[in-house]
Amino acid sequence: MEGVALVLIGAIMFNHSWSLLRLYPDGRTMGIFVGALGLAALATLTFDPMLLTGIGEDGSALRGANPVAEITILKLVIIVWAGYAVGVAAQAIWEFDERAIGFYSVVVAASSLVALIYYATTLLTPYGDDVQLSMIAAMFFLAVPPAMVFSYYAIPAFAALQQVAGWFLLVGGIGVTTTGLVIVSTLIEARGFAR
């Protein structure tokens, strides 16, 4: 679940970045893509986890793992990003007010930051450094760009940040997608220490 969700959220960020960089002549096309990707991200909530299972390579339970909390936090991040995607899609298709996206971006940034802090403080012992670093990297790339989107959309005085917000989304989307692809390809697996 983790890898597929991260790839889809990265694609949401990537598509929205091109709109902010003014490379889409018609925002409705981007809105359709982002809306579909947001709904697809919600569908990943039904998938089984690949990394945060609480089970090691040998099938034994990992000492210190709390898979229910770990997956619940990731599901929260997925739901919040899907809401962001639906908001961006609605704004692009029906030309709603852009400032609402900016204010909602604070929720997206905050939830991603909470997940980053949680994963940074809890994943090392049960899963090892490769799982911890991959989840920290993904949450970092998910936390920083929405803060820039907030600065651009929500505060009219910062209109000059449009290009900056677009580039942050573009680079963040590439980083999140790359992390997701590494997880899906099983280059990163849960190892950890048995109880």
List, in order, residues 6 or more apart from 20 with CB less than 8 Å away: 149, 152, 162, 163, 165, 166, 169
**What confidence tens digit (pLDDT) does each residue in 100-154 have?**
999 999 999 999 999 999 999 999 889 989 999 999 999 999 999 999 999 999 8
Q: What is the mean pLDDT of the chain?
A: 93
Give me the pLDDT at residue 191, please: 66
Going by pLDDT thresholds of 50, 70 and 90, the confidence category of residue 57 is confident
For range 36-59, the mean pLDDT: 93
* Confidence at residue 194, expressed as pLDDT on a 0 to 100 scale: 46
Average pLDDT of 59-83?
94
Asked if the model's pLDDT at residue 80 lies above 50, the reply is yes
Mean pLDDT of 14-28: 91
What per-residue string of b and e applies to 50-64 under the rule 16 or more CB within 10 Å gives b? bbbbbbbeeeeebee
Determine the average pLDDT of the residues in 35-39.
98
**pTM of the complete model:** 0.94
The ranges assigned to domains in the chain are: 2-184
pLDDT at 192 over 80: no
Q: Picking from 4-13, 36-45, 63-72, 183-192, which range would have the lowest pLDDT averaged per residue? A: 183-192
Q: What average pLDDT score do residues 19-28 get?
A: 88
Give the separation between CA 3 and CA 181, rounded to whole angstroms: 6
CATH architecture of residue range(s) 2-184: Alpha Horseshoe (1.25)
Give percent above pLDDT 90 in the chain: 78
DSSP the chain: -HHHHHHHHHHHHHHHHHHHTT--S-HHHHHHHHHHHHHHHHHGGGSPPSS-SSB-TTSPBBTT--HHHHHHHHHHHHHHHHHHHHHHHHHHHH---THHHHHHHHHHHHHHHHHHHHHHHHSHHHH-HHHHHHHHHHHHHHHHHHHHHHHHHH-GGGGGGHHHHHHHHHHHHHHHHHHHHHHHTTSS-----B-
Residue 138: the pLDDT is 97
